[in-house]
Structure 1
Amino acid sequence: TFTYSLNTKMAASKKKRMEEDMEDENDKNEEDIDDSEEDYMDSDGEEEEEAIMNEEVQVDFEARVPEDSDFHGIKNLLKQVFLKSHVNTSELTDVIISQNYIGSVVKQTIMSDDEDDDDEEDDNTVMAVTTVINITERQDLSCVKQLKALLEEKCQECAKDQKEKWFKVLHDQDKQIGFLINERFINLPPNLAVPIFESLVKEMEKARQKKMKYDFNYYLMLCKSLKMTTDAGTQQDVFFINSEEEIFRDASELNFSYSVADEKAAVGKGGWSSEEDMDSFRTVLLIPAEKLDNIIQRIKDELAAT
């Protein structure tokens, strides 16, 4: 397990505006000094509110191994991806929990008093899950067969020119394919991705040392994405809900997107100012496994630059 702390400071721009207003106030005529006590109290109240708004808040997230009690939380995150697709998310969740030596679930660290211990379990929400499943070795599972069938169907509909390549990769017994799952609540920051992926890489290395099947040729990803629709009805570039997945896309050997708008996906809610102009998609990526370390480093570099 590991803990990640996120520090945020609220309403910085509002504070700046208030300071500018105070400078303007100092330039006013001295007759303004005779403002009423009521006005003073109002101003004092605003300053107190501003002090609260600008208070630095630390939020701690804890990554743990998946366990049985996480079943419903993990399944709900998977359903965000698959929506109404015919993929058995219950079976997929069972696989994730059964191989708990690989991957992590993320929860908010809760510091509670003894009297609140009874409520802690209710607040112990799974906020993210990151793991990898070997779909070559687990090809006989219903959920894996359904996943492959889904991708082949959508590729036929949306990227016919790639169909032959996708079919060959998905059914090549000499190629080990890892289904890389990277799901989290939409309001969680991409900063969480770095320590989680670094931990995943270490866990896979330990598994390989034990002769377990985690030496992959490719990683397969299914990402939540959006496209903006223009006035002319044409669609623009893909926007990834998990922003770091754009870097995975850039490193991919194959990729295509398919619409899930008819499945009423509300994945963009709260994240865009003009949600009505955004159509929901899923973007499928095939990434050469040897690129993973460079991808993680690029994510770190991008985050450091922001």
Structure 2
Amino acid sequence: MASSKKKRADEKIIDEDEFDDEIDDDEEESGSEEEPMDQEVQLDFEARIPDDSDFNGIRTLLQQVFLKANVNLSELTDTIISQNYIGSVMKQPYNPELDDDDDEDLDSDDSVLALTTVVNITERQDVDCVKQLKTMLVEKCKQCSAAQSDKLSKLLTDPDHHVGYLINERFLNLPPSMAVPMFEALIKEMEKARQKKMKYNFSYYLMICKSFEMKAAHNVKQMFFSNSEEELFQEMSDLCFRYSVAHERDTGVEKWSSEDDMEPFRTVIVLSADKLATVLEKLKHEIAKT
């Protein structure tokens, strides 16, 4: 089993050229006058299948979304890891020339930078964390719109039209370009799973996105997404609502919304499954323009 996972992980390593980034090292204190002032550091990333060593790292990313919500994130993390054929975590590969830590630290959970995966919340309707997730979403939606709440409730309980909870999480300041190869890999993995008669033939995808409202000039408020590419999902959504989590910002993971003029929200998006490829193409186009 271990060898199978290793092979799978090797297959999922994404070309480093797609993630190369350069940062200035001007602020780093120099220990020698001979060291260059403008030193460029190349950052490499690799995507691989989630495994048990990623538990804390994945749970931390989920905590960014759910904050104090009554959802068992440990069980949800275990569910994600148990799908050893779907999903990717993004990590920085170990570099023996730069990292002098002991071998036992090579698979540190702190190196989990991003997660892209999908959980079939129709098929897994009896799992406690999925029950909690559905209950929370319907209650939050009901506070916004009774009509939308009825629609969402029917969608989440329809056994003939499966819904996938689509997770697109990463740490702040990591670029949206990282999402492209991870979504591409996920689409291919779901296709392979469907060919094997696994239940990844979704009618809809559901996303819970970190968003925030910022005060602009003349008291006009603007909505932004923490992961900017998720605005494209919203534009093509079949159902969308949001709810404030300002009262939960004391958890310590809402660092991006700590300023008084920024109110944190969660934007829930329901998207027809056949639109995912179109959204991905739009994302590629937007990234190409930057």
Same fold (TM over 0.5): yes
Describe the SS at the equivalent of 2:59.
helix
Q: Which residue of 2 aligns with 1:215?
A: 201
Alpha carbons of structure 1 residues 275 and 204: separation in structure 2 relative to 1, 3 Å? same
Q: Which residue of 1 aligns with 2:239?
A: 254
- State the AA in 2 paired with 1:292: L
Describe the SS at the equivalent of 1:264.
helix
1:121 aligns to 2:101 (yes or no): no
Alpha carbons of structure 1 residues 136 and 195: separation in structure 2 relative to 1, 3 Å? same
Alpha carbons of structure 1 residues 64 and 7: separation in structure 2 relative to 1, 3 Å? same
Describe the SS at the equivalent of 1:148.
helix
Separation in 1, partners of 2:174, 2:72: 26
CA contact (8 A) 2:80 2:119 kept: yes
CA contact (8 A) 1:207 1:214 kept: yes
Alignment RMSD, CA only? 2.4
Alignment: residue pair count: 267
For structure 2, the residue ranges without an aligned partner over 5 or more in a row are 1-11, 27-32
Match of 2:263 among 279, 284, 297: 279
Q: Which residue of 1 aligns with 2:6?
A: none
Describe the SS at the equivalent of 1:121.
coil
Q: Which residue of 2 aligns with 1:159?
A: 145
Match of 2:227 among 239, 242, 255: 242
CA contact (8 A) 1:112 1:120 kept: no
Q: Kindly, what percent of the aligned residue pairs are identical?
A: 56
Describe the SS at the equivalent of 1:2.
coil
Q: Which residue of 1 aligns with 2:164?
A: 178
CA contact (8 A) 1:241 1:268 kept: no
Residue 71 (structure 1) shift:
0.7
CA contact (8 A) 1:226 1:268 kept: no
Q: 5 Å matches for 1:134-145?
A: 134-145=120-131
- State the AA in 2 paired with 1:77: L
Separation in 2, partners of 1:135, 1:200: 17
Residue 268 (structure 1) shift:
5.8
Alpha carbons of structure 1 residues 268 and 76: separation in structure 2 relative to 1, 3 Å? closer
Q: Which residue of 1 aligns with 2:4?
A: none
Q: Which residue of 1 aligns with 2:7?
A: none
TM-score by length of 2: 0.85
Q: Deviations over 1:70-97 (max 9, x none)?
A: 1111111111100000000011001101
For structure 1, the residue ranges without an aligned partner over 5 or more in a row are 13-44
Separation in 1, partners of 2:101, 2:24: 28
CA contact (8 A) 2:57 2:111 kept: yes
Separation in 2, partners of 1:137, 1:56: 48
Describe the SS at the equivalent of 1:162.
helix
TM-score by length of 1: 0.81
Deviates more, 1:258-267 or 1:130-139: 258-267
CA contact (8 A) 1:7 1:56 kept: no
| Higher share of residues assigned helix | 1
Q: Deviations over 1:35-76 (max 9, x none)?
A: xxxxxxxxxx8xx88x633x4332111111010111111111
Describe the SS at the equivalent of 1:284.
strand
CA contact (8 A) 1:220 1:287 kept: yes
Match of 1:100 among 49, 61, 84: 84
Alpha carbons of structure 1 residues 254 and 120: separation in structure 2 relative to 1, 3 Å? same
Residue 189 (structure 1) shift:
1.1
Separation in 2, partners of 1:115, 1:248: 42
1:6 aligns to 2:20 (yes or no): yes
Q: Which residue of 2 aligns with 1:26?
A: none
Q: Deviations over 1:210-245 (max 9, x none)?
A: 00000100000000000113588x672320000110
CA contact (8 A) 1:268 1:275 kept: no
CA contact (8 A) 1:169 1:175 kept: yes
Q: Which residue of 2 aligns with 1:88?
A: 72
Separation in 2, partners of 1:300, 1:176: 27
CA contact (8 A) 2:194 2:200 kept: yes
Alpha carbons of structure 1 residues 217 and 132: separation in structure 2 relative to 1, 3 Å? same
- State the AA in 2 paired with 1:191: S
CA contact (8 A) 2:212 2:225 kept: yes
CA contact (8 A) 2:53 2:107 kept: no
